[in-house]
Structure 1
Amino acid sequence: MSVRDGHPALEPGRIGQLTTANRLVVAPMSRVSAEPDGTATPEMADYYARFAQGGFGLVITEGIYTDAAYSQGYLNQPGLVSARNAAAWRDVVDAVHAAGGLIVAQLMHAGALSQGNAHRDGTAGPSPVKPRGDKMPGYGGNGPWPTPKEMDSADIEEAVAGFAAAAVNARDAGFDGVEVHAANGYLLDQFLTGYTNLRDDSYGGPVAARVRLTAQVVERIRAGTGPDWTVGVRLSQTKVNDFRYRWPGGAHDGEVIFAALAGAGATYLHIASEGRAWTETARLDGGLTITGLARRVTGLPVIANGGMHDAGLSAQVIGDGHADFVSVARAALVNPCLPRRLAAGEPLERFDRTLLEPTVTLDNVRRRLRAAGAPV
């Protein structure tokens, strides 16, 4: 990878009260390597610290489950629901801070796409609609998804309260902020999506009603953590079980969603591209891009995702005003020092698809690179 001098991703950035060394972000990547009760391990502290050591301006954790009810998505997924969980995350946060980085906890409720929950049997979602596709073997799943129970008002309150409590736990553990996971087909995205949300109450129907739950989560987190703490939201059109889905209303839907979340108190928006490149999912009618629209509607910092390890693409996305930051997932696994390589104009190591295995740690990656005679 060769880049021109002054790559815009290497410039300092600002997200709310946070000043980042650059505009390169580690995207959330589920690793399912926590203890059975959701407690983070010392190996996870080392894993996240290496991204900070490699120069990333911000690290966003894998999805962390938020309650001891229906939120957990996978066995060995980390949680933030107990004092023991929070204390272990403090060690992770301290390791990242000691390496000079910033770290945000992504808070996640799997909803109907849960395939491993130590707390509850069965799954819950906005409507009793069987999810498309099959469970993900890489995360311990097998066979078709079950049909979820329809969440009643008590279930919804339990979910919102879980997000809020987990956010307070994250703040107390020293995290620099949280990111609400409303993307990729999980619970909050299920409420946003017409074919999984068939409700006829205040959470169903037009997009302004379907985004209501996500806005309530942001509002409750904001109320519990204060006016200045970083509270981001991750959104996507595509899903882990549906790569083809796009918002039916296009730019109109985007305007409604973005405005609602900004009004609820979001600090930033992170627009994901599950299973597809930004170039495939970002374009809207009229020459708009979804990330550019989010910036225009809200005035908030926007993170773009999807193929952003490509130096030319990330320069275009930031330089042409489509987004303020770019997040990298797969390429960061094999190139934890990607920002330093970008600054030096050095090529990136090729991505090995076996590294998508959730339990592969950065130590595994480094050993493989050394065995191949590649720099780390």
Structure 2
Amino acid sequence: MTDTPDLHPALQSGSLGSIDLGNRLTVAPMTRLSATPAGVPTELMADYYAEFASGGFGLVITEGIYPDAAYSQGYLNQPGLVTQEHVAGWRVVTDRVHAAGARIVAQLMHAGALSQGNPHRTETLAPSAVQPLGTMMRAYGGSGSWPLPREATSDDIAEVVEGFAAAARNAAEAGFDGIEVHAANGYLLDQFVTEYTNLRTDGYGSSTANRIRLTAEVVERLVAEAPEGFLVGVRISQTKVNDVVYRWSGGAEDVVVIAEALAKAGADYIHVASEGRSWFETARLEDGSTVTGLAREVSGLPVIANGGMHDRDQAERVLHDGHADFLSIGHVALANPDLPNRLAAGDELADFDPAMLRPSVTIESSNRWRRAG
């Protein structure tokens, strides 16, 4: 970290892989459901992402993008990176973000069993035929119980890896600076990692090393094919959109296995999500260490911490005490797209109002709230 007197550590410059960033502040991926029905990014999305760049964020990570026209799409009006129309739409977004001075990474997401709006398939796919906990999310366009998914075959698994690889190639063509593999929050890759959703007895089940195997294979494939200087990160979490209390049963031992596997696969960074909870609540391990700090130590990779990182004191502590190298900010960034500029000026932040995500989590819902204010 390059120190500058009297500058908050989150405003210090840093590097992810070969990419230099102006500060340690990152926009966390947030579902927006604002693409066309065919998954093409819109001008509204370009405005949305460019505003974060203009507001001073060094890195913007997109909402989850579906990587194939099979089982991956999770929601209606979710953007994709499958067709040339998708690529052209995202090129407008990346050009706008770059022109405003930030870098942008595409988060690739396979919803798996937590798909509640996929025009490409009438069934869902998962590591095992286990019905997800809870009910579909109304703010994301769903209702009622989750369907019982079909257990993935070896051919299905191979197609998942190929889908991620094809989407990563499209991301490079669309002008992204890299991709983030979404292996968090209860979606497909996380379903493989999670004990109660993965009942497999083959090489992708049973032990933690086997359950993280698919994520590692995806990362390894993308690293092998990535253009020079193209970031390949991965997002992990214990908590999920449909289970905010879940924790890895192996605690620190699981963190070590997972972090080592991702580092060996060649990931450029690890992003630890909190799913709407504070970093302190979700990252603290029984021995007093943290998931973020231990992952950083074991992997030797830069780590992005998430969960309440808009709090100036917590952000400073997380960076200074070695728990993480970068910070990602979600909902509070919606209310403060210029958060880094406000932090640099010493200005107060606007409070996040959940009404920004009602009746659904679209950009228009947030814009309507802002116009009303």
- In which range does the TM-score fall when normalised by the shorter chain? over 0.9
Describe the shift of the 1:254–1:69 C-alpha distance in structure 2 as closer, same or farther (beyond 3 A).
Answer: same
Counterpart amino acid of residue 203 in structure 1 = Y
Mapped contact 2:140–2:361 kept (Cα < 8 A): no
Inter-partner Cα distance in structure 2 for 1:42 and 1:324: 32
Determine whether 1:137 maps to 2:138. yes
Inter-partner Cα distance in structure 2 for 1:366 and 1:124: 34
Describe the shift of the 1:364–1:274 C-alpha distance in structure 2 as closer, same or farther (beyond 3 A).
Answer: closer
Q: What residue in structure 1 maps to residue 18 of structure 2? A: 17
Q: What residue in structure 1 maps to residue 353 of structure 2? A: 352
Inter-partner Cα distance in structure 2 for 1:181 and 1:353: 24
Inter-partner Cα distance in structure 2 for 1:314 and 1:247: 25
TM (norm. structure 1) is 0.95
Inter-partner Cα distance in structure 1 for 2:284 and 2:53: 32
Determine whether 1:196 maps to 2:226. no
Inter-partner Cα distance in structure 2 for 1:360 and 1:111: 22
Q: What residue in structure 2 maps to residue 157 of structure 1? A: 158
Which runs of structure 2 are paired with 1:221-370 in the superposition (5 Å)?
Answer: 221-226=222-227, 228-357=229-358, 358-361=360-363, 365=366, 368-369=369-370
Inter-partner Cα distance in structure 2 for 1:360 and 1:69: 24
Mapped contact 1:45–1:92 kept (Cα < 8 A): yes
Moved runs in structure 1, 4+ residues, more than 2 A? 356-361, 363-372
Counterpart amino acid of residue 98 in structure 1 = A
Two-structure CA RMSD over aligned residues (Å): 1.4
Q: Could you say what secondary structure the match of 2:232 adopts?
A: strand
TM (norm. structure 2) is 0.96
Mapped contact 1:80–1:170 kept (Cα < 8 A): yes
Shift of 1:105: 0.2
Q: What residue in structure 2 maps to residue 38 of structure 1? A: 39
Inter-partner Cα distance in structure 2 for 1:226 and 1:202: 30
Q: What residue in structure 1 maps to residue 101 of structure 2? A: 100
| Structure 1 segments unaligned to the other structure (5+ residues) | none
Question: How many equivalent pairs are there?
Answer: 368
Counterpart amino acid of residue 153 in structure 1 = S
Which runs of structure 2 are paired with 1:56-71 in the superposition (5 Å)?
Answer: 56-71=57-72
Identical aligned residues as a percent: 63
Map Cα deviations across residues 54-102 of structure 1 (whole Å, 9 max, x no partner): 0001000000001010000000000000111011100000000011110
Mapped contact 1:330–1:356 kept (Cα < 8 A): no
Shift of 1:202: 0.5
Describe the shift of the 1:35–1:325 C-alpha distance in structure 2 as closer, same or farther (beyond 3 A).
Answer: same
Q: What residue in structure 2 maps to residue 214 of structure 1? A: 215
Shift of 1:367: 6.5
Inter-partner Cα distance in structure 2 for 1:157 and 1:18: 30
Shift of 1:356: 2.5
Q: Could you say what secondary structure the match of 2:239 adopts?
A: strand
Counterpart amino acid of residue 261 in structure 2 = A
Map Cα deviations across residues 160-179 of structure 1 (whole Å, 9 max, x no partner): 10001000100111100000
Which runs of structure 2 are paired with 1:176-191 in the superposition (5 Å)?
Answer: 176-191=177-192
Describe the shift of the 1:242–1:96 C-alpha distance in structure 2 as closer, same or farther (beyond 3 A).
Answer: same
Q: What residue in structure 2 maps to residue 168 of structure 1? A: 169
Mapped contact 2:139–2:361 kept (Cα < 8 A): no
| Structure 2 segments unaligned to the other structure (5+ residues) | none
Determine whether 1:113 maps to 2:114. yes
Q: What residue in structure 2 maps to residue 82 of structure 1? A: 83
Q: Could you say what secondary structure the match of 2:36 adopts?
A: coil
Mapped contact 1:72–1:110 kept (Cα < 8 A): yes
